[in-house]
Amino acid sequence: MELRPFGRTGIKVSELCLGTMTFGNEADEATSKAMVDRFLDAGGNFVDTADVYSAGISEEITGRALKGRRDDVILATKVRFRMGPGPNDIGLSRKHIQLGIEASLRRLGTDYVDLYQVHCWDPRTPLEESLATLNDLVREGKVRYIGCSNFAAWQLAKALGISALKDWEPFVSLQPEYSLITRDIERELLPLCIDAGLAVLPWSPLAGGILSGKYQKDAPLERGTRGGDTENEITFTYRLDDRAWKVVEAVVDVAQKAGKTPAQVALNWVLTRPGITSPIIGARNLEQLDANIGATGWELDPELGKSLTWASAFRKGYPYEFIEYADA
């Protein structure tokens, strides 16, 4: 795998990031460790987890899997979502962030994380409180860099402005949803990140597996697949509109012409989009991981790439289309 600059920082990360949401849930520890080893041996150096994944078990498995190789890896985790029954076991308050990093470090078996990300916007905590706490963690050496996930553009811009004004450590990355089916970040978030020099780490680049080609329109979602699991039903099926199925058809067609799998084609498209640093890939087993890694090391024919971009086109709306028209 190629290495890419991580935004405006001085580090480099692999063009794919290994996501560990399946660890301790869809993948047992032995399989999870085997996937970490396979990913690192393939040239990957970027691993992403979160405290909420499998209620902390993912971090524990990840930490054990990285034993002896910790300093060779850019390790990222997250804080924000509920980790206990108490009223302060959720959010981005100073209390929850400070308790969160200590618990994550303990589970990961390390004394620092390279990237500490807030997992989602918290409307109940003043942004200054969260940013000041994250700045303290960097100063204490427990965190090297900070990032955010699932922010709106105005929220990210506000955070960057406050950090600049206070001379605090700024967010250096954004982890948003992005795929051929979900391209909404192209309105404001992606241009903002490009302008500000933030690394962009797309999650769900295969739209929850829809772009793998294993689901068929008007066919029931099979149990045992991500789409067929009851707990994923809401977050999965909102993607399944008529436009989405047209995108799937285009991906399957391009895959046949390119001699690749639909998943590899969809991942490769995300990999080569302007401003994208490292898409996050998840897998339940080694076969899925190997297939995803197969999205690297080759270039999609430009005309085939254009056909995917056109097939997945969406209305950006006002004022974005007005601005583009005015600048034409």
| Residues assigned a catalytic role | 53
CB 103 within 8 A of CB 71: no
Q: Residue 306 corresponds to which tokens in the numbers above?
A: 């254009």
Computed from CA positions of residues 182, 184, 189, 195, in that sequence, does the dihedral angle turn out positive or negative?
Answer: positive
Q: Residue 82 corresponds to which tokens in the numbers above?
A: 């509920």
- Burial classification of residue 253, based on how many CB atoms lie within 10 Å of its CB (0-12 exposed, 13-18 middle, 19 or more buried): middle
Query: For residue 178, what is the enclosing H or E element?
Result: none
Residue 175 CA, chain-centre distance (Å), reads: 5
CA nearest to 175, candidates 43, 100, 76, 92: 76
CB 58 within 8 A of CB 21: yes
DSSP E strands, the chain:
3-5, 12-14, 17-19, 46-48, 74-79, 113-118, 143-149, 171-175, 199-200, 280-281
